[in-house]
Amino acid sequence: MVTGTRARSPSLESASPVSVMSADGAAPEAAAPMPGDTRPASTPRRQPRSGMLTAGDHDDLLNPELYADYVAKFLQQQPLEAVPFVDTRRVLSVVVQDRSGRPVPFARVTLTCADGNSLSFDTLADGSVAFFPTLDRLGSRVRLSVRHANRTVGEAREIAISSGAGAQRHTVTLDGGAAPVRRFDLAIVLDTTGSMGDEIEFLKNELQAIVANLRRRHSGLDIRLALVAYRDEGDVFVTRTYPFSGSAEEMQDRLAAQSGQGGGDYPEAMDQALARAMALDWRPDAVRSLMLVADAPPHDENVGRTWAIAEAARARRIQITPVAASGVADLAEYVMRAMAASTQSRYLFLTDDSGIGNPHAPPAVDCYLVTKLDSLIQRVLDSQISGRRIEPEEEEIIRSVGRYENGRCILPPDFQAQEIGARD
């Protein structure tokens, strides 16, 4: 079983120093294919205007059979040991709620095995923690205990871990009422290499409005924003880190200083940027969200370190929400989806419906709804804050792919996922 100290938190000191160079201010350029880049060739198109980029999303926790099938097919083509299989077919969910059935965020949930090893996570805004028996190396039986506000909640209980596929859910009830979420920390980790011009412009145009809408929907919510911009070794800078601030206007100024340039090959310094984001001063009593906007994976030799950082984010209750941009290819999608699933988040991806920017590779998912990117990001962040999944209104939907129902794909009767084999 994974212990509480086995998350393999990366050495943040090993990341490159934060660059203090000023922004170059040059206009984004269309990216030429780089060595090792297997994405479709970039075709320059019109630049984004406010509210035009389009996107979809997929939740691999809601589609466990499809995710297992996707992983099996990916690993057949590209074996990858650095990122373990997050088996969403076997999930042990612990939900903490009050006597009125309202979710209790930030409760400490601990599983202890017979050998004494333990694993502890805090509940999200929906009151839940997801444990993955295979990934977390759980034994056949565990002891479940919960604490909240330095007090034990209920009595500890023994749980038998099922060896077969299927979700297990255990509910723990807190005496008294659940406190509402009052704080939200959002860190944006942004690839600012040459192919990312349209996504950078989108954030410049839309982020302030997204934050304003969240504040309207959640009266009194204290929102802080941080930014980590990154490129790659050999560029003008590798990372630029801007700490948390409560001012959306200040974040807008930070974004205005960014432009899409550099990136001498396809992979980028994603691992260093994520390490910088982990080193930010996240508040313990805030919903914590990390939005990774990128179109390229880390370098092969850094994939393992990137996954270790994702494990550390999970241990610290930071939900990683990838936004797959431009022509994201297979490895980037695989790593991003694994990070999203393990941190109980969703995988977002841009689509070509807007006709803006570089071509966007279709995702390896079976069903999704296409809406405007700004409304999608707002719904996902709103869901993380409120603890309930928020679906788009009918008028927001541009098109649908496959048979979609509240985040789940309706499978044909004859569907059978491929076996993962030894990685299962």
- At 134 the pLDDT is 93
**Cut 0.85: pTM above it:** yes
Q: How many independent structural domains does the chain possess?
A: 2
Among 174, 201, 223, residue at a domain's last position: 174
The better pLDDT of the pair 30, 157 is held by: 157
262 and 142 co-located in one domain? no
Q: Are residues 298 and 345 in the same domain?
A: yes
User: Domain for residue 3, yes or no?
Assistant: no
In terms of domains, do 216 and 260 share one? yes
Q: Are residues 386 and 292 in the same domain?
A: yes
Is 50 exceeded by the pLDDT of residue 347? yes
Residues 170 and 202 in one domain: no
Cβ atoms of 392 and 382 closer than 8 Å: no
Region of residue 310 (left: phi > 0; alpha: psi -120 to 50; beta: else) = alpha
Pairing of strands 54-58, 347-351: antiparallel
Residue 96 near residue 122 (C-beta atoms within 8 A): no
| Domain-terminating residue out of 118, 145, 174 | 174
Residue range 239-256, pLDDT digits in tens: 999 999 999 999 999 999
Q: Which domain covers residue 53, as residue numbers?
A: 42-59+181-409
pLDDT for 114 equals 86
The residues near 364 (Cβ < 8 Å, ≥ 6 apart) are 70, 73, 74, 330, 333
Average pLDDT, stretch 25-41?
41
Are both 186 and 132 inside the same structural domain? no
Answer yes or no: is 32 within a domain: no
Shared domain for 162 and 310, answered yes or no, is: no
Q: Are residues 188 and 238 in the same domain?
A: yes
**Structure confidence at residue 105 (pLDDT):** 97
The answer to the question of residue 72 being in a domain is no
Same domain, 136 and 169: yes
d(CA 404, CA 368): 6
**Side chain identity at residue 232, one-letter code:** D
**Same domain, yes or no: 232 and 297:** yes
Q: Is residue 140 domain-shared with residue 261, that is, in the same domain?
A: no
Assess if residue 416 is contained within a domain: no
pLDDT tens-place string over residues 299-316: 999 999 999 999 999 999
pLDDT band, very low/low/confident/very high, at 265 (cuts 50, 70, 90):
confident
pLDDT of residue 356: 75
Is residue 300 located within the same domain as residue 354? yes
pLDDT band at 421 (very low <50, low <70, confident <90, very high): low
Residue 11 CA to residue 30 CA, distance in Å, equals 35
Give the end-to-end CA distance of the chain in Å, rounded to a whole number.
Answer: 15
CA atoms within 13 A on the CB side of 64: 14
Please report, for the domain that includes residue 158, its CATH number: 2.60.40.1120
The last residue of one of the domains, among 148, 174, 200, is 174
The CATH number of whichever domain residue 349 belongs to comes to: 3.40.50.410
Average pLDDT over residues 348-356: 89
Mean pLDDT rounded to a whole number for the chain: 87
What pLDDT shows up at residue 2? 43
The 8 Å CB, 24+ separation contacts for 14-19 are: 14/275, 15/239, 15/272, 15/275, 15/276, 15/279, 16/233, 16/238, 16/239, 16/269, 16/272, 18/239, 18/240, 18/241, 18/276, 19/237, 19/238, 19/239, 19/240
Asked if residue 424 is part of any domain, the answer here is: no
CA distance 190 to 400: 28
**Is the residue at 200 inside a domain?**
yes
Q: Does some domain include residue 414?
A: no
**Is 75 among the domain residues?**
no
Higher pLDDT, 344 or 13: 344
Which of 6-20, 178-192, 212-226, 389-403 has the weakest average pLDDT? 6-20
Query: Is residue 401 a contact partner of residue 367, using CB atoms and an 8 Å limit?
Result: yes
